[in-house]
Chain A
Amino acid sequence: MSSYLIKGVSVLGAAPTDLLIRDGVVAETGADLAADGATVLDAAGLVALPGLVDLHTHLREPGREDAETVESGSRAAALGGYTAVCAMANTSPVADTAGVVEQVWRLGREAGLVDVQPIGAVTVGLAGERLAELGAMADSAARVRIFSDDGHCVADPRLMRRALEYVKAFDGIIAQHAEEPRLTEGAQMHEGAVSTRLGLTGWPAVAEEAIIARDVLLAEHVGSRLHVCHVSTAGSVEVLRQAKARGVRVTAEVTPHHLLLTDVRAETYDPVYKVNPPLRTDDDVTALRAALADGVIDIVATDHAPHAVEDKECEWAYARPGMLGLETALSITLEVLGPRWDLIAERMSRTPARIAGLESHGLDPAPGVPANLTLVDPAAQRRIEPGELASLSRNTPYAGMTLPGRVVATFLRGEPTVLDGKAVK
């Protein structure tokens, strides 16, 4: 294994120090460490963070390898500063069996750019009718702990209750896509002033809030862990705040796009802004930012959703929902939270690693700790060009925007996956 001496880096914003990486771990920290044969990286001005962990990534393989593969998505993740991603189950075939989750897990190992932790489907085929073999997925080589029908809500309250209870046997967690399906039939965008003007069928905030309210009560009733995907409304934040105050074991994520963009983007009818849940209002963005800062929302998760050009270059109603996120998430979080590195590490690395049960991730760089870390240039400004992204797809809503921060290097178990801002393979 190679060894690296990272010179003069600021760990989580602290005074500059050196980090010696050897045998996959952080071997030593301190001033003026001897290179001792290690490759020296000048990291003056850079900030070291524990490698980022994404709890919500769509890698599209198997099934839509034209939009993304495990390998291309892993590369995008590494370039975004991630060392682990949790791959959502809505592939084709659906990741609802031990066979499919093991396939995704193995593809991730072969790509070797980030740890790919498969998420298993809650119900067979995401159909919301009967439980998938959750235990078989948990016992498989992929060791699945997070289960989600993401893209679909587990709407049946009895099935949701059973799922929450069942996964307690192996300390699993249900990650719910909170969307009451009867309230969002045909929905295209946030229901409000803009949807009225544009004549696009509204996706009312209450459709999300009603499910979250129900699910925290169910989780409380059966004493299970619940994770809420992509929280998008101010009302959801209030439901979560009350549940957490009561001690319900609920965690929640927000996406970078819900922290930055609002429904007025739909005015061009360009479906690059179509996403589920939809972009909301300024008031929602304000509430989400405050909740992320104060901890009612636990983590930032990308909901990285690559789509082929033909699925976006069309009429709004016919386009697939979703946006790219892996290569821009850290920049947007930095923009939103400011250079509060400990908070960023908490929201993008430590807490998501803890929720997912990824024990070798989410650990601050310190002697003896697995060397999963990323180096960020906080002073850099970066203009987002869709064609320069590593993802196979181009559906970034940030095209042409200038965002702060740039990932310079990422290490996975001591081996660089990104150096000089470029993927090593």
Chain B
Amino acid sequence: MIRHLLSGADLDAATATRILDTAAEMATVAGREVKKLPALRGRTVVNLFYEDSTRTRISFEAAAKRLSADVINFSAKGSSVAKGESLKDTALTLQAMGADAVVVRHPASGAANRLAEWVDGSVVNAGDGTHEHPTQALLDAYTMRSRLGRLAGLSVAVVGDVLHSRVARSNVLLLSTLGAKVTLVGPPTLIPVDWATRAATANTAGQAPDISVCYDLDAVLPTSDVVMMLRVQRERMSDSYFPSAREYARRYGLDGQRMRRLPEHAIVMHPGPMNRGMEITPEVADSARSTIVEQVTNGVSVRMAVLYLLLGGNNA
């Protein structure tokens, strides 16, 4: 098993599948009256959050607690970090306290990679800047597999602000590894230039994952098994990525009419938190195709699996 989970690229198909299978077992725990396993008793998991993220932090906390680990929540606000402590010094402190795993959320890309150099325990990247969020990709893959029965051969449209999305980066890597076909959809300003160029030049011997790019959402809907809507930050508007929220919603928002262009079996995903009325309408978000609430539930199972496998719980 790998020691850290920093990027979707850390996972080969076998490892990723093993995590998803383990998550399925973990999910059965959630159905019990006593939702707890003794697997990580005596182990310490630190949630080190430099950004506010209620849902991810609670998800990891619930996952660790269901495995009986001791959980320490360390948020940057009101802590030594607010007093100017460096990431390295914080890492050495956690190290000295004997953290077996550090789950880190940080606004700077690569912060989890840096942290992994400074602590002996496992580091789980819970979102670093505009880089990656690999457990989100795993829970998305888990959700697709449980709804649609497979991942290989699925057509997945990832729609919105791909440029700034760590969710998109991790999903592109993991879904390609697991054999799904990813199409990135959004205004050209929000698709990385390099990916757009590569897709346009028909995948020329690059190491970039096999992806395609389309600027027309309506064109990809009829052939998509999964539509993953990304959150669009309103502040992108003032940065001229697109002219207005209304124009964005008209061209790239998923409303009821567009949803009906999807194949019967297709699902709609969103990593949350949603901007209802911007990238997704309430009609879609609350429809039977929407997996948004399931994604949250699955997040706990997947994070249980990740912590369990990284901390060698399978050998205990």
Contacts and interface: CB of A to CB of B under 8 A. Distances in A.
Contact of A268 (B109, B113, B169, B195): B113
A193 B169 contact: no
Nearest to B169: A199
Contact of A269 (B86, B113, B206): B113
Interface stretch (B129-137, B276-284, B297-305): B129-137
Interface string B173-214: 000000000000000000011110010000000111000000
A314 B110 contact: no
Interface stretch (A108-116, A315-323, A357-365): A315-323
A313 B206 CA distance: 32
A198 B128 CA distance: 10
Main secondary structure of the interface of B (DSSP, over half): mixed
A202 B195 CA distance: 13
A71 interface: no
B121 to A, nearest CB: 19
Contacts of B128: 199
Nearest to B50: A315
Given A314-B87, A318-B108, A196 B194 contact: yes
Contacts of B129: 199-200, 317
Interface string B96-132: 0000000000101111011000000000000011111
Interface residues of B, number: 25
A268 to B, nearest CB: 7
**Range of interface residues on chain A?**
20 to 34
Nearest to B9: A197
A96 interface: no
Contacts of B195: 196
Nearest to B191: A196
A398 B290 CA distance: 52
Query: Which of B109, B113, B114, B128 has the largest count of A CB atoms less than 10 A from its CB?
Result: B109
B258 interface: no
Contacts, number: 67
Interface in B64-90: 86-88
B109 A310 contact: no
A199 B113 contact: no
Interface string A160-196: 0000000000000000000000000000100111011
Contacts of B208: 193, 196-197
A45 to B, nearest CB: 42
A201 interface: yes
A192 B130 contact: no
Query: Which of A199, A200, A310, A317 has the largest count of B CB atoms less than 10 A from its CB?
Result: A199
Contacts of A315: 87, 106, 108, 110-111, 114
B231 interface: no
Contacts of B110: 198-200, 269, 315-317
A313 B129 CA distance: 18
A295 to B, nearest CB: 32
Nearest to B132: A199
B166 interface: yes
Given A199-B128, A269-B113, A317-B109, 17 more contacts: A191-B193, A192-B194, A193-B208, A195-B192, A197-B208, A198-B110, A199-B132, A199-B166, A200-B129, A201-B130, A204-B193, A313-B86, A314-B87, A314-B114, A317-B108, A317-B110, A317-B129
22 contacts: A191-B193, A191-B194, A192-B194, A193-B206, A195-B192, A196-B192, A196-B193, A198-B110, A199-B129, A200-B129, A200-B131, A269-B110, A270-B114, A313-B86, A313-B88, A314-B86, A314-B87, A315-B110, A316-B114, A317-B108, A317-B109, A317-B110
